[in-house]
Chains A and B, each alone.
Chain A
Amino acid sequence: MERQLILPMEEKYREYLIDESKFSGEADSISFPATQDEVIIIVNEMRKKQSRITIQSGKTGIAGGAVPKGGHIMNLSELKGYIDSGIFDDGTAFITVEAGMNLMELNREISRRFKRHQYFWPPQPTEVSAAVGGILASGAKGINSSYYGDSRQYVQRLRMVTADGGVLELERGADHEELDMILGGEGLTGVITAATLKLVPKPECVWGISFFFENRTDAGLFAERLKECSRTAGAHIEAAEYLDRTAIDLIEQRKETMTKIKELPDVPAGINGMVYLEIAGEEAAVEEMAGALMEEADECGSDSDQAWAVLGDTEIEKMQAFRHAAAETANLLIEEVRRADGRIRKLGTDMALVGRSFGETLKIYRDDIEKAGLKASIFGHIMNNHLHVNILPEDYQQYIRGCNLIDRWTQEYAFGDNCLAVEHGIGKLKNHLVDLILTKDQQDRIRRMKERYDPQGMWNQGNIFKEGR
């Protein structure tokens, strides 16, 4: 019997109307293609019906990019096969997978395919249920991006089905510019069905170290010092993350329900800031660097007797899960408030501010939040002052004050090299700020791509640009 590909929206598909941003939408139909051929059939059918398509994969986005605004939902969770893999002459490797494969499945597939030499794909968002297609479309990065650089360089090739039902194959080198426009392009030009990902060798040794600070200013000072000693001969800081006490409290209130982290002990009372580092490289050099950082942390007021140090993939994954729980628990709290008032959505920043110290950046955010009479959890990436300030409103009035505060920050910091949407995308939640987030030139380039591949406006309406723009 032929599989019914396009399904009418029913109550049981309600969860597909919302994503991790807690922003919800509406749709007329939904599909779960399991092959590229099925994707093409669905696209052709939707084109005939003149229906819009919203692409979904892991639904882990927090800017509302996967939330439908009417029309059809194409959910790629069934399109998650392994295609091929191999090793390049320069010692790096590749794996080709379908777009719906999530990060956890990808990592498992990489270990299965490369048994003798260990490889990994550097863009590693801490949300391991994020799918490859979504990571590529949103430009998601992860905690090690300051070391490994722009995540686009780890995509070698991709396959995309366009609005006319055609299949476009783009390769790094020949189609460099176009490929980089589609990566991070929030699905405005078509649906990515498969990608060849460039893998790099795993470091010989990684230590995951947590330093604790009673005083927020001390934590800021230490974070700033890290920027000056992030690399030695044979070792480097691969990730440097900050969590404030509110973020830690939210995690601890809910960690019982989180399998990976429920056995971690509580962070001691009196701690107001935590800095989590991953140091990678040759074993002796990593150890030496860890010793030097321990002294630095001591000088900055951290009690090194309290510092944690874990080794091995399993233990490091637990600490990454702890860090990820900062985002997840903020989202859960928003979900609770949203149940009481459906107008409330996620309120978080994704800005990297240059030209300020980490401590200064932290203080500005903290002071503004206090002045606005709001509560927020603050966590994020130290090396590029890229903090996720998650405002936690208790009611709609607070939500509006939070929206105004984020809009004000976006306006105030829209200058120079500041980046206002680093890794979450603009989606639908921040499209009203697009003129501040993207330059006119950047917007024009996106529009030209859209015009070329999707003149009828089939794909992901409302992402980046408000509808009708």
Chain B
Amino acid sequence: MRIAVCMKQVPAYSEGNMDERTGLLIRSGLETAVNVYDLAALETALRIKETAGGTVAVFTMGPAGAESVLREAYAYGADQGVLICDRAFGGADVLATSYTLMQAIKTQGSYDLILCGKQTTDGDTAQVSGALAKWLEIPHFTEVSAVSVTGEKRFCITQTFERQKLVWDIAVPCLLAVQRHIWPVRMPSLKLRMAGKKKMITELGIDKFEDQDVGHYGLKGSATQVKRIFPPKRTSRGSVMSMEGPAAAIYILRTIEAIQGVKEEGAWS
């Protein structure tokens, strides 16, 4: 089975400023990490490979430094790493990112299964996987909380929503966007990390794509633009109370009433 996993390099902490002109996050100087949701996607891919056989290719889009995501993926057990890197891809929104990923994936042939994390910790849109599936014209399942191999290229998957759980029997090709805790993610292996240092990385620029129209990529190919990024205002330090359960419960209720100003006479007595 040929499995592709999309992974992204993100800032390790939610600090940093926005470029006022472009509306983009200034990433230079920030410590980076692999998007944790994507590690769950990689873990899912590796478990499927261990059960059903096949190969796992990881695609990442970003500056040259994003190569570290692929080296990291090798340390977990990925077979191939593909770096999608070109100045033309900078500043992409959901539409342009998903289109770029689709073009990149197509250069490597067809995949049975494509896995994504359900969202990233920087953009947080949770829309790229759906858009990618649409471009590839394959079924898309998001919020996937369980996957098991049931037969030759067949899976039983569970989608967990706030009030609903859906279980599906599905066949490839398809795209699954997995939840963060679908599996406990294994630790990167020393041996694989050492071997991964010597492994080749496939680099893709716009010149390798079927569609080489720069107007379809990056800022130019984006339908949306971020107006402003700002950290949430810090709330002032609250008071810490220590009291017995029943007294604490009454105290909390009274506090909520005071905030809401909706106390009905005798309602809580």
Interface residues of A (CB under 8 A from B): 11-12, 14, 115-116, 209-210, 263-265, 287, 290-291, 294, 304-305, 307-315
Contact = CB atoms under 8 A, between A and B. Distances in A.
Contacts, number: 55
A265 B242 contact: no
Contacts of A307: 189-191
Given A12-B242, A115-B29, A310 B187 contact: yes
A265 B194 contact: no
16 contacts: A11-B242, A12-B241, A12-B242, A116-B29, A209-B190, A263-B184, A265-B184, A265-B186, A287-B194, A290-B194, A308-B190, A312-B31, A312-B32, A312-B33, A313-B31, A314-B33
A309 B74 CA distance: 12
Contact of B187 (A294, A304, A308): A308
B121 to A, nearest CB: 12
Contacts of B12: 312-314
A307 B193 CA distance: 10
A304 B197 CA distance: 17
A381 to B, nearest CB: 21
Contacts of B193: 309, 311
B52 interface: no
A309 B196 CA distance: 12
A7 B81 CA distance: 62
A314 B186 CA distance: 16
B194 A291 contact: yes
Interface string B31-49: 1110000000000000000
B93 interface: no
Nearest to A306: B189
**7 tightest Cβ-Cβ pairs between the two chains A and B:** A309-B190, A307-B190, A308-B187, A309-B193, A314-B12, A265-B184, A314-B33
Contacts of A290: 190, 194
A304 B184 contact: no
Contacts of A315: 33
B132 interface: no
A305 B189 contact: yes
Contact of A309 (B13, B31, B33, B188): B188
Contact of B189 (A115, A308, A311, A312): A308
Nearest to A293: B190
A209 B75 CA distance: 12
Contacts of B75: 309
B107 to A, nearest CB: 29
A23 B248 CA distance: 28
A290 B32 CA distance: 23
Nearest to A317: B12
Contacts of B143: none
Contacts of A308: 187-190
Interface residues of B, number: 21
A259 to B, nearest CB: 13
Given A307-B189, A310-B188, 9 more contacts: A263-B184, A290-B194, A294-B191, A294-B194, A305-B191, A311-B72, A311-B188, A311-B193, A312-B33
A210 B75 CA distance: 14
A294 B186 contact: no
Nearest to A283: B197
B44 to A, nearest CB: 15
A355 B33 CA distance: 43
A336 B196 CA distance: 46
Contact of A287 (B29, B72, B197): B197
B185 interface: yes
B191 A265 contact: no
B62 to A, nearest CB: 16
A299 B29 CA distance: 41
Contacts of B72: 311
Nearest to B39: A263
A307 B192 CA distance: 10
Nearest to A318: B187
Contacts of B242: 11-12, 14
A14 B242 CA distance: 10
Nearest to B72: A311
B195 to A, nearest CB: 10
Contacts of B184: 263, 265
Nearest to B36: A263
Nearest to A13: B242
Nearest to A303: B191
Contacts of A12: 241-242
Contacts of B197: 287
A80 to B, nearest CB: 13
B29 A309 contact: no
A308 B75 CA distance: 9
Contact of A294 (B31, B33, B190): B190
Most buried by B among A115, A264, A290, A308: A308
B38 to A, nearest CB: 14
Contacts of B190: 209, 290, 294, 304, 307-309
Most buried by A among B29, B187, B188, B190: B190
A265 B29 contact: no
B114 to A, nearest CB: 24
A309 B185 contact: no
Given A312-B12, A313-B31, A264 B194 contact: no
A326 B75 CA distance: 26
Interface string B1-39: 000000000001100000000000000010111000000
A311 B72 CA distance: 9
Nearest to B75: A309
A264 B187 CA distance: 7
A313 B13 CA distance: 11
Nearest to B241: A12
